[in-house]
Structure 1
């Protein structure tokens, strides 16, 4: 394992650049930090990662297991001291391991044919914590794909990746969906669209069983845009007995998805 001591090292410089979206887009890479996320990436057999390991943070047995599995997947391992790890880490008290992973590439055109199963559209969801939690929920529920409109936060931002707990690579993510595409996709896929809204909607438990669907969740403050709601077959909401107007979008998505997919 090569030991890195200089900030001018190409991989250190790359890791620092990837803290900005423009470089993540240009390089096609993103940062994934933490032992649990690393274990999840290994489990998914993701190849060609760059793995920074802080000196002295792991026992010989744990480190050997990570390196043996990683080298089989053509990972490059680099050891760094605590100061260098703190430089590239996105957390104040990191776990001593950080990956550079390649972004998955999925084109919206992949969806333009008859489909079955459950899909989720996020319209202008901007909070990274919400985005990461929804991503993790979709992966756990068995959603087949996550579709993002232009107004959404970057799916590969560090806080999103941390909140997803390694699920960032577990399901296809399709970015930059606009209204014309959603309209075309609805016709091509044959899937019914269900929006989440407070007006002109029914309680979600009144909808009945769905063996396939597209569920749409909207912006934290403004909900789903009207031109997207115009595409839905029906809208639903979660009744709230308490004196609260609405749920956080990540909580609402978990309630809806697990009711219909695993209910």
Structure 2
């Protein structure tokens, strides 16, 4: 478990660690490929998750039982629940995404904060997005921080990785998907934007935002008006506001 906290090891092994009753349960319900369930019976107690573990074991999933002390040493959390899983990483291709007429897709360009990545994945899942596209050398969505922040949505929402924004824009143009870039420099307030087709929301990194060519290539560029003294919003908060407006308009 501890070795999978290292990004290079996760890539090499093609696996990640999921910890907590809710996220592990969602991985099971999403039919993620679970290599092993790691359980501390003294911590898990008689919770419904214990019955789920027994059912998975009967179905052939390997189960490793640890003492509460050992599980706590391996855990990355304070007050661990006693349940974790080693799960195979799963990435899709852009062509695998099912973007319907009312679909919304989120693209993140070199977003560096894993907590933001995980929270945006969770928020996109809550709004019924078709998927999240991760572009460039940003935070690993399979890191412990991102997995924790996603609260299991990592397993119910398709994830795509592309090396450049060009690939995402080319796919959107071919699929007739509207692209909406977000920037404090954009002239159109979010409330004035008209979203009438499947839409790909494009968000830039926390520090530098989107490159200029991404703003010019997008169908539309929008900003969230700031009325108070704060000059910016947390990226995950901004993503939630834009996702709400997009789903409100597209129904």
TM-score (norm 1): 0.87
The Cα of 1:30 is off from its aligned counterpart by 0.3
Match of 1:125 among 102, 111, 125: 111
Deviation per residue, 1:59-96 (Å, 9 max, x gap):
34635412233235532111101232123211233211
**Cα pair 2:116 2:236 within 8 Å, conserved:** yes
Aligned residues: 248
2:221 maps to what in 1? 235
SS at match of 2:42: coil
**Cα pair 1:130 1:249 within 8 Å, conserved:** yes
**Cα pair 1:121 1:147 within 8 Å, conserved:** yes
Match of 1:105 among 84, 87, 91: 91
Match status 1:92 vs 2:84: no
**Alpha-carbon distance change, 103 to 191 in structure 1, aligned in 2, over 3 angstroms:** same
TM-score (norm 2): 0.90
**Cα pair 2:7 2:140 within 8 Å, conserved:** yes
Deviation per residue, 1:152-194 (Å, 9 max, x gap):
1001000000000011111111113313313421321111110
Q: Structure 2 regions of 5+ residues with no counterpart?
A: none
1:155 maps to what in 2? 141
Deviation per residue, 1:190-249 (Å, 9 max, x gap):
111101112232111111343410101111121112232222111111112111111111
Distance 1:91 1:127 in 2: 19
The Cα of 1:39 is off from its aligned counterpart by 2.0
Distance 1:88 1:209 in 2: 47
**Cα pair 2:43 2:68 within 8 Å, conserved:** no
1:3 maps to what in 2? none
Distance 2:17 2:145 in 1: 10
2:126 maps to what in 1? 140
Distance 2:71 2:29 in 1: 24
**Alpha-carbon distance change, 101 to 23 in structure 1, aligned in 2, over 3 angstroms:** same
The Cα of 1:29 is off from its aligned counterpart by 0.5
Distance 2:86 2:178 in 1: 38
The Cα of 1:16 is off from its aligned counterpart by 2.4
For 1:30-109, list aligned pairs within 5 A. Answer: 30-60=16-46, 62=48, 64-71=50-57, 73-109=59-95
Match status 1:169 vs 2:162: no
2:247 maps to what in 1? 261
**Alpha-carbon distance change, 196 to 58 in structure 1, aligned in 2, over 3 angstroms:** same
The Cα of 1:115 is off from its aligned counterpart by 6.2
